[in-house]
Amino acid sequence: MGVNSYLGLHAEHYDVVYADKPYEQEARFVHDQLTAAGTVPGRLLDVACGTGRHALHLRDLGWEVAGVDLNPELVERARAQAPGVDFHVGDMRSLSVPGGPFGAVTCLFDAVGYALTNQGVVAALSSMREHLAEGGTAVVEFLHAPAMLRGARELGVRGWPLEDGGELVRIARTELDETAGTMTVGYDVIALGADGSYRRSSEEQSNRFFAVEEMRALMEAAGFAPRRFVAAYAADPEVTGETFHAMAVAAR
């Protein structure tokens, strides 16, 4: 089973879709988690780095960052907008990134769930651990099952202005499989031109959600020692049933 990535117009306009995501504040939160765990700024590997926005801000916080992503189109854009970061193309389940071992490894934006199966997730976590120095720290963000099962929306429609005067519209239809612990989202993305033209692309992405104890068990199976679980990017670190995005902090 493969790992998802963004396709077509979704990949082309990735930074438009996530323009409002507070990457700088999130990078600071991750930085604080790492330093609280005793890992000072040094070599850091950002797994599933997308277009490099987290990597860029982590670099500004003093980390020497390398990034890796499955999608060559996103990596190409990351290289253009995050100078000073060493980007590579690779599958998180079988990483081979030069420059290690790294003092810190991050996997953010719930990307670990794209590996879907227990086998795939353990392979991804094991691959991250292999790139981590002894005593180093990993920070892994994941979708939290209780909140997903309670509050996931079946239909979402959003629009964003484009620089050429047009508009990007995304329609998302979500289905949950409680037995498999997966969320499958069908996307229709339409780029409306200011001249009345349009382009359209469709894709489907599946992501895994986890209970905290489920993620703990998978991390331990990969050889990690989980230290704490926190609500991602939240002022109150307690993970509750309302927490959609949780974060594991673990040591090698």
- Where is the domain boundary, 171, 191, 207? 207
Co-location of 12 and 92 in the same domain: yes
DSSP for 26-63, written as a single string: HHHHHHHHHHHTT--SSEEEEES-TTSHHHHHHHHTT-
CA 112 to chain centre: 7
Encode pLDDT of 169-191 as tens digits: 999 999 999 999 999 999 999 99
Q: Which domain holds residue 173?
A: 150-207
Q: Tell me the Cα Rg of the chain.
A: 18
Residue 166 falls inside a structural domain: yes
Does the residue 3 lie in any domain? Answer: no
> In this predicted model, what pLDDT tens digit does every residue of 123-177 receive, in sequence order?
999 999 999 999 999 999 999 999 999 988 889 999 999 998 999 999 999 999 9
Domain of residue 234, CATH code: 3.40.50.150
Residue 2 lies in a domain: no
Q: Look at residue 83 and tell me if it is in a domain.
A: yes
Query: Are residues 14 and 71 both part of a single domain?
Result: yes
80 plus 126 within the same structural domain:
yes
Domain count, the chain: 2
Q: Quick check: is 115 in a domain?
A: yes
114 and 225 together in one domain: yes
Segments of the chain scoring below 50 in pLDDT: none
Q: What is the pTM of this model?
A: 0.94
